[in-house]
């Protein structure tokens, strides 16, 4: 425990670098010849041979370098480390509206006398942000009672969906209009006829749903990643059966 | 008591070998071959003509005649099981029961493995375990979210339903003794390597550093079939080139806490989620027989495991404060099966094969069960040890195993991928677990190891509620903390 703390001590000025990179210089040592290898092949190979083989902690799925970006124990653990070094501004959550481990809704009433749910959402967002960066011990005496489900659905929709809805509807309309124009130009079927035909209705729905899933090109990558994740484990299991005839169970 | 019986076993085989004067006439490179001595003893018992027992090196080879798969044997099939944990012991028990000549190699007979030690209810029945080996009966669980929302799980359990907490040294020893009672020969030794001197249909010669008796002895053991049950760092897997798996490191401190605090954990296990305690797994406080095990695990950021351990201690806070750390342990936990689990006449079972579930990280039951299924397959396919078996015969075990348990593994994989992604997903996970329906379903599938299809209307409600929870908690998340993906690494 002492070693990583002391290495980071010397680098406190570079607090913004990744936690792992900051506390474990040996990782960067291992990484450097590899990155150089891409630039000039032959010398780097010799260098790479000199490297010690990675420790068990660095193998077997440990992410490193670029791949580890954003997957490090960022906020929470960094904050803890800062606390140990005495440089962290320790933020503990306190709010006068947080009474008996829940939000006191009576303090959230808006001008019209109804609960201002937007304010509740804001307050809870802030509470979670603080807790994420400064995890607090669970306690037997103080059990958290607040349940996000008490905020009505329309408050969520108004807050988070409506600003998005504008964008989604706008895109769907543009894509739909453009496609209708193309079809009109190609086949001579007017917009009104397209609306009335079954095919046209199907195409309309496909366009709207498609826009919901693929709002931008980056979403395509995301969907592909999701599909890979969903099937990855199957691949790992099926490896033992590749090129092998599977015996029957009753054999 | 046990060591004495083992010593006499060795002495006995030596005595049986002496009249045949195996070592005197056979100019063997290695001085002591358990395989030979034991075999001569067995073949004499089986009434084989005494003249066939080793006269010279050449005769020795003719006795080792290469057997094709399915060929009749004039001696019992010889199986070596490397590793004496639950997987190895259960495999040995099944083989020995069928009359197969079974050797089990284990170095540390009192190995106290760093391990949660939780076993499901169905294991107690299926493996006929006595009640003494259960230290604690856990029937309450607490799940604690990153924002410290706690959910008590276990209200749906019936009075006689519980999760058994065991000490591995006790459980393993019990299973090993049972294998021994059934006729397996337990060798206290370290498995060093093995080779096939006579081609891929020939016998395996295993090199073992035997610690039977006073000092270390190098011995060779000759067998037909090898079962690798030697855990995550399996040597057998390495020899057959079975490929690697990703693994998590599980770190656990055994902490002795004062009586009042211990009382709180009497029948309660705690599970903490949050990216402070682990970016892709959970942290735990499990009750042991007179202390608690506090630990955590991770795959993607193993170098930071100690920071995560600090975090889990902090999160448990007052509940374990003032405790004394009596033991620190760490161990790799496989994430998925090895690319190759069977090669020729070598099969892998338990952790060596990679049978640990995602999400919950459970492995004892699956190890014991895979060992047993492998043993059963060897017994059945060799017609109780009377004929040689090959890769295809061993694969019957693999095929049954995959068919039977694939759904369980897949469900847990999906759960991990959905709910361990980020703190927001974890909040939703805890929220979801407050539903009684979810609790009943998870406990049923954990305790009885069957994925029971639920009520479709409740399932739909659950899906709706879960999607709602995930959307809500994601919406509430402003800080750009880590989000984990579980794809190719």
Mean pLDDT of chain B: 83
A118 touches chain B (CB under 8 A): no
B24 touches chain A (CB under 8 A): no
Average pLDDT in the B45-50 region? 39
Q: What are phi and psi of B254, to 5 degrees?
A: -90, 120
The partner residues of B253 in beta bridges, in order of sequence, read: B294, B328
Sequence spans of domains, chain B: 32-110+170-244+338-402, 136-163+246-334+422-489
DSSP B33: B
Question: Per-residue confidence at B76, pLDDT binned at 50, 70, 90?
Answer: very high
Which among B246, B274, B358 is the nearest to A61, CB-wise?
Answer: B246
A147 touches chain B (CB under 8 A): yes
Residue B434 has pLDDT above 90, yes or no: no
Question: Per-residue confidence at B480, pLDDT binned at 50, 70, 90?
Answer: low
In A, minimum Cα distance to B471 occurs at A156
Residues in CB range of B329: below 8 A, 6 or more apart: B113, B114, B251, B252, B253, B254
Question: Per-residue confidence at B447, pLDDT binned at 50, 70, 90?
Answer: confident
Mean pLDDT of chain A: 71
User: What does the pLDDT read at residue B80?
Assistant: 95
Cβ atoms of B467 and B480 closer than 8 Å: no
Nearest CA-CA partner of B379 in B184, B240, B105 = B184
The number of residues in chain A equals: 251
Which among B396, B476, B486 is the nearest to A124, CB-wise?
Answer: B476
Which among A20, A73, A228 is the nearest to B308, CB-wise?
Answer: A73
Q: Which residues of B touch A72 (CB under 8 A)?
A: 279, 301, 304, 482
What's the CA gap between B146 and B476, in Å, rounded?
13
Q: Is A132 in contact with B314 (Cβ distance < 8 A)?
A: no
Checking ipTM against 0.90, whether it exceeds it is no
Q: Is B482 in contact with A128 (Cβ distance < 8 A)?
A: no
B470 touches chain A (CB under 8 A): no
User: What does the pLDDT read at residue B485?
Assistant: 63
Q: Which residues of A touch B403 (CB under 8 A)?
A: 249
Q: Which residues of A touch B481 (CB under 8 A)?
A: 74-76, 132
Q: Over pLDDT 90: what percentage of chain B? A: 44
Question: Per-residue confidence at B294, pLDDT binned at 50, 70, 90?
Answer: very high
User: What does the pLDDT read at residue B54?
Assistant: 39
Nearest CA-CA partner of B312 in A76, A127, A42, A144 = A76
What's the CA gap between B87 and B7, in Å, rounded?
24
Q: Is A138 in contact with B319 (Cβ distance < 8 A)?
A: yes
**Residues of chain A by 3-state class (helix, strand, coil), percent to 5:** 65, 0, 30
A163 touches chain B (CB under 8 A): no
Q: Which of A7, A31, A56, A77 is best to mutate for the B interface (most B CBs within 10 A)?
A: A77
Q: Poorest-confidence range of A205-209, B24-28, B430-434, B452-456? A: B24-28
DSSP B201-219: TSPEEEEEEE-SSSS-EEE
Q: Is B335 in contact with A228 (Cβ distance < 8 A)?
A: no
User: What does the pLDDT read at residue A143?
Assistant: 83
A136 touches chain B (CB under 8 A): yes
User: What does the pLDDT read at residue B484?
Assistant: 62
What's the CA gap between B426 and B143, in Å, rounded?
10
Q: Domain B32-110+170-244+338-402 is in which class?
A: alpha beta
In B, minimum Cα distance to A141 occurs at B318
Q: H helices of B182-268, where?
A: 235-239, 259-264
User: What does the pLDDT read at residue A71?
Assistant: 54
What's the CA gap between B49 and B51, in Å, rounded?
5
DSSP B29: S
B395 touches chain A (CB under 8 A): yes
Average pLDDT in the B376-400 region? 92
Residues in CB range of B101: below 8 A, 6 or more apart: B38, B39, B42, B75, B76, B77, B78, B79, B185, B385
Considering only residues 174 to 233 of chain A, which have any Cβ-Cβ distance to chain B shorter than 8 Å? 225, 228-230, 232-233
Q: How many CB pairs under 8 A join A and B?
A: 223
In B, minimum Cα distance to A250 occurs at B396
Q: Which residue has the higher pLDDT, A56 or B220?
A: B220
User: What does the pLDDT read at residue A26?
Assistant: 34
What's the CA gap between B296 and B250, in Å, rounded?
6
Could you tell me the fold of the domain covering B136-163+246-334+422-489?
D-Amino Acid Oxidase; Chain A, domain 2 (3.30.9)
The number of residues in chain B equals: 489
Which among A20, A61, A124 is the nearest to B304, CB-wise?
Answer: A20
User: What does the pLDDT read at residue A66?
Assistant: 61
Tell me the per-residue pLDDT of A167-193, one tens digit each, with 9 for 90 and over.
878 888 888 888 888 988 888 888 888
User: What does the pLDDT read at residue B478?
Assistant: 74
DSSP A108: G
Nearest CA-CA partner of B359 in B287, B278, B440, B455 = B278
Average pLDDT in the A29-54 region? 45
User: What does the pLDDT read at residue B300?
Assistant: 86
Residue B4 has pLDDT above 70, yes or no: no
Nearest CA-CA partner of A135 in B423, B426, B146, B317 = B146
User: What does the pLDDT read at residue B13?
Assistant: 40
Nearest CA-CA partner of B251 in B146, B367, B116 = B116
Tell me the per-residue pLDDT of B6-20, one tens digit each, with 9 for 90 and over.
433 433 343 333 333
* Strands B324-334, B292-298: pairing kind: unpaired
Query: Which H, E and C letters describe B432-453, residue by residue?
Result: HHCCHHHHHHHHHHHHHCCCCC
Q: What are phi and psi of B142, to 5 degrees?
A: -120, 130
In A, minimum Cα distance to B330 occurs at A57
Residue B448 has pLDDT above 90, yes or no: no
DSSP strand E in B281-375: where?
A: 283-287, 292-298, 324-334, 342-343, 346-348
Other Cβ atoms closer than 10 A to B58: 9
Tell me the per-residue pLDDT of A193-250, one tens digit each, with 9 for 90 and over.
888 888 888 888 888 788 777 777 777 888 888 888 888 899 999 998 988 888 876 6
| Chain centroid, CA A31 distance in Å | 26
Question: Per-residue confidence at B235, pLDDT binned at 50, 70, 90?
Answer: very high
Tell me which range, B25-39, B358-372, B449-463, is most confidently predicted by mean pLDDT. B358-372
Residues in CB range of B299: below 8 A, 6 or more apart: A60, A61, A62, B246, B247, B248, B249, B280, B281, B335
Q: Which residue has the higher pLDDT, B290 or B54?
A: B290
What's the CA gap between B187 and B463, in Å, rounded?
52
Residues in CB range of A152: below 8 A, 6 or more apart: A117
For residue B480, with 0-12 CB atoms within 10 Å meaning exposed, 13-18 middle and 19 or more buried, which class applies? exposed
Tell me the per-residue pLDDT of B185-233, one tens digit each, with 9 for 90 and over.
999 999 999 998 888 888 999 999 998 887 888 999 999 999 999 999 9
Considering only residues 396 to 435 of chain B, which have any Cβ-Cβ distance to chain A shorter than 8 Å? 396, 398-400, 402-403, 406, 409-410, 413-414, 417, 423, 427, 431
Q: Which residue has the higher pLDDT, A75 or B467?
A: B467
Tell me the per-residue pLDDT of A97-131, one tens digit each, with 9 for 90 and over.
888 888 988 888 888 888 889 899 989 988 888 88
What's the CA gap between A251 and B393, in Å, rounded?
9
Nearest CA-CA partner of B91 in B297, B355, B348 = B348
């Amino acid at each position: 425990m002492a070693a990583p703390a002391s290495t980071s001590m010397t680098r406190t000025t570079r607090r913004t670098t990744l936690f792992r990179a900051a506390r474990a210089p040996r990782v960067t040592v291992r990484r450097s010849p590899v990155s150089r290898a891409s630039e000039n092949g032959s010398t780097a190979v010799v260098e790479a041979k000199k490297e010690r083989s990675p420790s068990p902690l660095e193998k077997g799925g440990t992410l490193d370098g670029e791949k580890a970006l954003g997957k490090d124990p960022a906020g929470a653990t960094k904050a803890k480390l800062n606390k140990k070094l005495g440089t962290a501004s320790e933020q503990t959550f306190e709010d006068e509206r947080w009474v008996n481990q829940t939000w006191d809704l009576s303090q959230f009433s808006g001008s019209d006398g109804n609960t201002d749910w937007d304010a509740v959402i804001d307050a809870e967002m802030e509470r979670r942000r603080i807790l994420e960066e400064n995890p607090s011990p669970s306690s037997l005496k103080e059990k958290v009672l607040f349940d996000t489900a008490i905020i009505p659905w329309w408050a969520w929709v108004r807050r988070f969906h409506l600003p998005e809805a504008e964008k989604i509807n706008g895109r769907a309309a543009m894509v739909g209009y453009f496609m209708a124009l193309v079809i009109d130009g190609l086949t001579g079927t007017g917009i009104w006829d397209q609306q009335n035909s079954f095919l046209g209705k199907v195409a309309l729905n496909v366009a709207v749903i498609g826009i919901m899933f693929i709002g931008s090109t980056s979403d395509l990558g995301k969907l592909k990643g999701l599909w890979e994740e969903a099937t990855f484990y199957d691949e790992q299991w099926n490896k033992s059966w590749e090129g092998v005839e599977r015996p029957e169970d009753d054999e | 008591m046990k060591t004495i019986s083992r010593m006499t076993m060795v002495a006995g085989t030596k005595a049986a070998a002496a009249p045949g004067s195996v070592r005197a006439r056979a100019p063997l490179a290695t001085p002591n071959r358990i395989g030979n001595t034991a075999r001569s003893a067995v073949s004499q018992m089986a009434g084989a003509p005494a003249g066939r027992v080793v006269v010279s090196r050449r005769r020795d080879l003719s006795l080792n005649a290469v057997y094709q798969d399915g060929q009749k044997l004039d001696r019992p099939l010889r199986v070596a099981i490397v590793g004496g944990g639950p997987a190895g012991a259960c495999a040995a028990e099944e083989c020995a029961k069928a009359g197969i000549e079974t050797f089990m190699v284990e170095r540390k007979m009192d190995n106290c493995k760093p391990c949660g030690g939780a076993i499901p209810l169905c294991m107690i029945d299926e493996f006929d375990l006595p009640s003494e080996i259960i230290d604690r009966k856990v029937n309450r669980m607490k799940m604690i979210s990153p924002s410290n929302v706690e959910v008590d799980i276990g209200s749906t359990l019936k009075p006689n339903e519980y999760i058994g907490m065991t000490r591995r040294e006790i459980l393993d020893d019990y299973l090993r003794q049972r294998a021994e009672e059934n006729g397996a020969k337990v060798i206290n030794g370290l498995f060093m390597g093995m080779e096939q001197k006579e081609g891929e249909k020939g016998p395996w010669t295993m090199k073992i550093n035997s610690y039977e008796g006073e000092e270390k002895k190098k011995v060779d053991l000759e067998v037909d079939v090898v079962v690798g049950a030697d855990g995550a760092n399996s040597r057998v897997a390495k020899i057959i080139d079975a490929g690697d798996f990703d693994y998590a490191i599980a770190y656990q401190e055994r902490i002795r806490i004062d009586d009042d605090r211990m009382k709180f954990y009497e029948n309660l296990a705690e599970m903490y989620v949050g990216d402070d305690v682990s970016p892709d797994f959970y942290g735990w406080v499990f009750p042991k027989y007179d202390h608690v095990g506090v630990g955590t695990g991770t795959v993607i950021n193993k170098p930071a495991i100690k920071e995560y351990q600090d975090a889990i201690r902090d999160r448990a806070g007052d509940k374990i404060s003032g405790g004394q750390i009596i033991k620190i342990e760490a161990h790799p936990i496989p994430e998925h099966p090895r690319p190759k689990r069977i090669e020729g006449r070598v099969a892998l079972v338990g952790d060596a094969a990679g049978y640990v579930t995602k999400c919950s990280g459970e492995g004892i039951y699956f190890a014991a069960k895979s060992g047993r299924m492998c043993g059963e397959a060897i017994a059945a396919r060799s017609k109780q040890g009377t004929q040689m078996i090959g890769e295809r015969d061993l694969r019957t075990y693999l095929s049954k195993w995959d068919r039977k348990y694939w759904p369980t593994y897949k469900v847990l994989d999906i759960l991990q991928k959905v709910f361990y992604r980020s703190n927001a997903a974890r909040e939703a996970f805890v929220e979801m677990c407050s539903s009684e329906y979810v609790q009943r379903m998870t406990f049923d599938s954990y305790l009885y190891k069957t994925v029971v299809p639920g009520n479709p209307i409740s399932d739909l409600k659950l899906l709706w509620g879960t999607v709602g929870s995930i959307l809500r908690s994601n919406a509430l998340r402003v800080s750009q903390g880590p989000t984990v993906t579980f794809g190719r690494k």
